Amino acid sequence: MSAAGDRVEVRAPGRVNLIGDHTDYTGGLALPIAIDRQIVVRGVDTDEPVITLTSDQDSTQASVRLPAAGITDIDPPWARRVAAVAAELGRENGFDGSVESTVPIGAGLSSSGALGVALALALGADADLSRLEVALLCQRAQQAATGVPAGILDEMASLHGLDGHAVLLDCHDLTVEPVPLPEGAEIVVKYISHRTVAGSPYSDRVAACHAAEEVIGPLRLAGMEDLSPLSDRVLLSRARHVVTENERVRQCVEGLSSGDLKTAGQLMTASHISLRDDYEVSTPELDAAVETLLSTPGVYGARLTGAGFGGCVIALAEPGAVTDAWVVRAVDGAEVVSGGSNYYRAP
Ligand code: GLA
């Protein structure tokens, strides 16, 4: 049990999804890396039944009275995540601390997912939870704080990242398989525009997938031959994206594992086209940035990453090929840096 005066410091990375977007909430496949941009939470347990946190990203501090309730009415909005995580943990004793972030906000690199994970590790540093349990807890907290029925990709990526590796996530059985990143290629990220998933058509896409599943059964098990009963054009194209994207993830893992960067890149580009045309979550700015990357010598493939509607584009490229973008490194997942206990149980 934690006691007043106990200190903790945790870190949780953001993520870039190499391929496999809008597949997680139907139990599909995704291939993210945890990136070398992170959220750090430091603080101390207190006797007062209140969590107080400052943030270097928001001048308004979060002050959440415990036990946390009325989550969606709390201001500032980032404090809702604090309250939702505290409620999931059943936290009753207070905490006084700070949040520092190098993950750009609203860029599709999962600043919110990383914040949730960092908060869960900091506020639950003595809870006896596996990484998978933390991911599920954070997903529930995310949904309670925002009302958006998001999948589990962001939390799993932040918790299960591995230095030098992508991680193949199966979002149905919640298994994680490390995929070494090949030598001779780098992953670059270009920021295009700010967006938030809350208020975007994300929920509409989730609903469309579930409507398609009512007709043809689980999309994660479907092949192209199973789509013909979908008479609604929109449901058909949403389902086609999911089915083809799951297959692209499988093939991309093979390409990366065998060092076939050309194939891996082509699959990433095909993923962008599917997200643009079938899933309709791209924007003209994201499309233009992808085109520019694809016309750059040494680029194997490019795509939007994350939910879309704005955010970032990424490319798989020869080292040094793209000069006006940020090269990301794949790093280890979230950890308790000091204080607390128990966070190294296997998933
Ligand atoms: C957001 C959600 C994730 C996932 C991606 C799209 O990041 O939080 O759960 O659905 O969009 O792949």
Q: Which is it for the CA torsion 311, 38, 183, 296, positive or negative?
A: positive
In the reported structure, the alpha carbon of residue 197 is separated from the centroid of ligand 1 by a whole-number distance in angstroms of 8
Measured CA to CA in angstroms, residue 54 lies from 64, 91, 116 at distances of 12, 19, 15
In the reported structure, the alpha carbon of residue 150 is separated from the centroid of ligand 1 by a whole-number distance in angstroms of 6
pLDDT by residue for the chain (347 residues), tens only, comes to 578 888 999 999 999 999 999 999 999 999 999 999 999 999 999 999 999 999 999 999 999 999 999 999 999 999 999 999 999 999 999 999 999 999 999 889 999 999 999 999 999 977 889 999 999 999 999 999 999 999 999 999 999 999 999 999 999 999 999 999 999 999 999 999 998 887 889 999 999 999 999 999 999 999 999 999 999 999 999 999 999 999 999 999 999 999 999 999 999 999 999 999 999 999 999 999 999 999 999 999 999 999 999 999 999 999 999 999 999 999 999 999 988 765 554 44
CB 20 within 8 A of CB 28: yes
Which one of the listed residues 21, 24, 154, 170 is annotated catalytic? 154
In the reported structure, the alpha carbon of residue 5 is separated from the centroid of ligand 1 by a whole-number distance in angstroms of 37
Residue of 17, 24, 282 to test ligand 1 pocket, by largest number of atoms within 8 Å of CB: 24
Site residues for ligand 1, CB cut-off 6 Å: 17, 21-22, 24-25, 110, 150-151, 153-154, 197, 306-307
Q: Which residues pair with 39 in a beta bridge?
A: 12, 101
Active site residue 154: yes
